[in-house]
Amino acid sequence: MKNGGIKNVKREILSDNWYILNKYTYDYQKPDGSWETQEREAYDRGNGAAILLYNSKKKTVVLTRQFRMPTYVNGNKDGMMIEVCAGLLDGDNPADCVRKETEEETGYKINNVQKVFQTYMSPGSVTEELFLFVGEYDDSMKVSDGGGAEDETENIEVLELNFDEAITMVSKGEIKDAKTIMLLQYAKLNGLV
């Protein structure tokens, strides 16, 4: 089904407390050519980038563990999530962002990163486009403890896991984060580890 057109887009800011929740009102042309007025809320936190750090010799991956409040209020008992390293672009290009986040969150200084996907993770409600990368790390690249930026209350724990164990954690439901599952499966399908 093709969308005929969109016109008269109006934006109302419902909240700009931290990121921005907008309400859009617009006219949408239906397949029969008629127009209807629709309303949709969209949460705008900018775009983001994430990376799976892997080591093909050791057969390991580096992941992070941190508290995610939205999961805590929706069934995730202690609110902790195991995720690939990720961050918001904050004006950087995705590759630079992901290198910076890697050093801040995991303590590895990595140069070679490869983009493998671009994805909208929640297209019905969140504007964010997420750029997904993979990158090989080794022990010599570890320059600090990581843990997150000093000025942010992130408290990120760095995990180095056996790749097969990480894949098992996906099937057991111990890893539930979508971008992390996508990248682990990409690594498996393409024989990276």
- Residues engaged in binding ligand GDD (CB under 6 A): 18, 48, 50, 83, 86-88, 101, 128, 130, 152-154, 179
- Say how many C-beta atoms besides its own lie within 10 A of residue 50's C-beta: 26
Q: Which residues contact 119 (CB under 8 A, 6 or more apart)?
A: 129, 130, 132, 179, 182
Indicate the residue among 56 and 125 with the shorter CB distance to ligand GDD.
Answer: 125
3-state secondary structure at position 138: coil
List residues binding Mg ion (CB under 5 A). Answer: 86-87
Q: How far is the CB of 21 from ligand GDD (least distance, A)?
A: 11
Q: Which is nearer to ligand GDD, 48 or 146 (CB)?
A: 48
Q: CA-CA distance, 59 to 67, in Å (whole number)?
A: 27
Q: Residue 104: count other Cβ atoms within 10 Å of its Cβ.
A: 19
Pick one of ligand GDD, Mg ion, none as the site partner of residue 73 (Cβ within 5 to 8 A by kind). none
Shortest Å distance, C-beta 64 to Mg ion: 7
Cβ nearer to Mg ion, comparing 86 with 98: 86
The residue whose Cβ lies closest to Mg ion is 87
